[in-house]
């Protein structure tokens, strides 16, 4: 989840290959899909002037580039800051940077392989399948808490608590810490906004410092009294004499807590909105486990929770005739790829029964989202319970997306069921 870095193109960009869409313009981030459609109809590989780098919007290119070993999430293992003109780190975000330093999302092999191998076993399908009853229980408990009201913000009351509680419990943190974990996470992810302000940076850094201090206290307690949880597992596991450092454990825990709920919250909100606006009968969408899976996959495709993911060019290279230098940034447009009319029939239509379903919402390649199996189960179970319990659910206020373009999620989703 590294911040977007602006770079200069290798050569002057032909005007017909340039495009502009201001990421903080409400008209854009509330509905970026017309912009995507224009690029699909003209040049799906284009130079995004506002970000200052090349972007790829078609499904084939995005899927391939996610797996392309010429590109990576980190660059400093093959170049220095001076080599590629990266600015020096800002001291006022040192605590935030420390949480990112050992993040799985930003590492490349062999460091990435080492960390992912350790953590992956907790997130394989056979492990997370066991969490279905707990997810259903949480969904029922949350609905019990607001069912007597006339209306509710579904993001705050339902979408956000479930994944936060589930990932906290997996790691080994108490469920009643979920609101505080959400507070820290929400403040930290503002660092990924376009043109982030110093005030935002300072607040995100303060959240990172508090988050880290809390985890250090928990880690100290786990060293004395290990439990059957992921945090203890990370602390105690020794692979051929190799033990994770405390900073590595903290970075991994922060990533799992932040990323472990972010996409699920957004997909729940976006998905419920898509279902209710489609006029389809929710009962049919979750009638069987197989159809529930298809419905969730279509929610992930139709209104993806993450729209822009960046990679560094690790070598001087070329993509689709576009010359790229070592250290250049490219943008992979996941939300646009999922609406590519060359890949999907009626790509702008929400269709949970489609036969050409697919998406790149969880990425691909070595950085494929480690929590994808868990997120899919959370979405299948929680949304089924929601529509079973509240069959008359409807939107009562126009939904609005948050001003963090590439994290595409609703700020609020006011619904009623009466």
pLDDT in tens, 82-106: 988 888 889 999 999 999 988 888 8
In this structure, what token pair is assigned to residue 292?
A: 């529930």
Instruction: State mean pLDDT over 235-247.
Output: 76
Judge whether residue 314 has pLDDT over 90. Answer: yes
What distance, in Å, lies between the first and last C-alpha atoms of the chain? 40
* Percentage of the chain lying above the pLDDT 70 cut: 96
- Indicate the burial class of 317 (C-beta count within 10 angstroms; 0-12, 13-18, 19 or more): middle
Q: Count of CB atoms within 10 A of residue 114's CB?
A: 14
Instruction: State mean pLDDT over 143-170.
Output: 96
- Confidence at residue 11, expressed as pLDDT on a 0 to 100 scale: 52
Judge whether residue 163 has pLDDT over 70. Answer: yes
In this prediction, residue 1 has a pLDDT band, given cuts at 50, 70 and 90, of very low
Judge whether residue 388 has pLDDT over 50. Answer: yes
Each domain of the chain, given as residue ranges in start order, spans 87-301+345-416
- Confidence at residue 117, expressed as pLDDT on a 0 to 100 scale: 84
* Percentage of the chain lying above the pLDDT 90 cut: 76
- Confidence at residue 75, expressed as pLDDT on a 0 to 100 scale: 93
Would strands 410-412 and 329-332 be described as parallel, antiparallel, or unpaired?
A: unpaired
pTM to 2 decimals? 0.93
Residues 388 and 136: their CA atoms lie apart, in Å, by 11
- Please answer whether residues 401 and 30 qualify as being in contact, where contact means their C-beta atoms are separated by less than 8 angstroms: yes
Mean pLDDT of the chain: 92
- Confidence at residue 5, expressed as pLDDT on a 0 to 100 scale: 44
Residues 248 and 118: their CA atoms lie apart, in Å, by 12
- Confidence at residue 87, expressed as pLDDT on a 0 to 100 scale: 87
Residues 283 and 220: their CA atoms lie apart, in Å, by 48
Is the previous residue joined to 96 through a cis bond, with omega within 30 degrees of 0? no
106 DSSP assignment: T
- Indicate the burial class of 229 (C-beta count within 10 angstroms; 0-12, 13-18, 19 or more): middle
- Please answer whether residues 79 and 326 qualify as being in contact, where contact means their C-beta atoms are separated by less than 8 angstroms: yes
**Which of 113-127, 252-266, 371-385 is the most confident on average?**
371-385
CATH architecture classification, 87-301+345-416: Orthogonal Bundle (1.10)
Residues 189 and 204: their CA atoms lie apart, in Å, by 8
Residues 264 and 333: their CA atoms lie apart, in Å, by 19
pLDDT in tens, 168-222: 999 999 999 999 999 999 899 888 878 889 999 999 999 999 999 999 999 999 9
pLDDT in tens, 31-82: 999 999 999 999 999 999 999 999 999 999 999 999 999 999 999 999 999 9
Among the ranges given (34-48, 109-123, 218-232), the one the predictor scored with the smallest mean pLDDT: 109-123
Residues 200 and 188: their CA atoms lie apart, in Å, by 9
Question: Would you say how long the chain is, in residues?
Answer: 418
- Confidence at residue 297, expressed as pLDDT on a 0 to 100 scale: 98
* Cα-to-chain-centroid distance, residue 34: 22
Among the ranges given (32-46, 129-143, 249-263), the one the predictor scored with the smallest mean pLDDT: 249-263
- Confidence at residue 8, expressed as pLDDT on a 0 to 100 scale: 46
């Amino acid at each position: 989840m590294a911040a977007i870095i602006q770079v200069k193109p290798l050569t002057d960009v032909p005007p017909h290959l340039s495009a502009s869409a201001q990421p903080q313009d409400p008209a854009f981030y509330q509905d970026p899909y017309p912009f995507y459609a224009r690029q699909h109809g003209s040049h799906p590989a284009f130079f995004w002037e506002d970000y200052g780098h090349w972007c790829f919007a078609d499904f084939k290119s995005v899927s391939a580039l996610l797996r392309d070993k010429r590109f990576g999430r980190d660059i400093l293992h093959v170049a220095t800051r001076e080599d590629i003109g990266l600015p020096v780190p800002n001291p006022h975000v040192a605590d935030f940077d420390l949480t990112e330093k050992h993040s799985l999302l930003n590492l490349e092999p062999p460091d990435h392989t080492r960390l992912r191998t350790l953590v992956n076993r907790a997130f394989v399908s056979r492990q997370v399948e066991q969490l279905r009853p707990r997810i259903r229980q949480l969904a029922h408990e949350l609905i019990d808490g607001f069912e007597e009201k006339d209306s509710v913000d579904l993001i705050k009351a339902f979408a956000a608590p479930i994944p936060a509680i589930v990932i906290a419990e997996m790691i080994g943190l108490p469920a009643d810490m979920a609101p505080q974990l959400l507070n820290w996470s929400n403040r930290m992810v503002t660092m990924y906004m376009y043109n982030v302000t110093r005030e935002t940076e300072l607040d995100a850094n303060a959240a990172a410092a508090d988050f880290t201090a809390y985890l250090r206290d928990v880690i100290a307690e786990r060293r004395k009294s290990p439990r059957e949880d992921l945090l203890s597992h990370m602390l105690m596991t020794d692979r051929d004499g190799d033990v994770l450092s405390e900073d590595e454990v903290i970075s991994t825990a922060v990533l799992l807590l932040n990323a472990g709920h972010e996409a699920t919250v957004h997909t729940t909100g976006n998905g419920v909105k898509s279902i209710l606006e489609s006029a389809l009968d929710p009962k049919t969408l979750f009638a069987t486990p197989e159809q529930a899976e298809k419905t969730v996959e279509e929610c992930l495709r139709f209104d993806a929770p993450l729209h822009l993911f960046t990679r560094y060019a690790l070598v001087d290279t070329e993509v689709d005739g576009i010359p790229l230098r070592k250290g250049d940034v490219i943008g992979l447009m996941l939300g646009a790829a999922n609406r590519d009319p060359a890949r999907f029939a009626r790509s702008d239509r929400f269709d949970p029964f489609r036969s050409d379903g697919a998406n790149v919402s969880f990425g691909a390649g070595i950085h494929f989202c480690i929590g994808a199996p868990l997120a899919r189960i959370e979405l299948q179970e929680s949304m089924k319970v929601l529509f079973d319990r509240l069959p008359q659910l409807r939107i009562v206020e126009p939904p609005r997306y948050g001003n963090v373009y590439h994290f595409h999620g609703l700020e609020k989703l006011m619904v009623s069921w009466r």
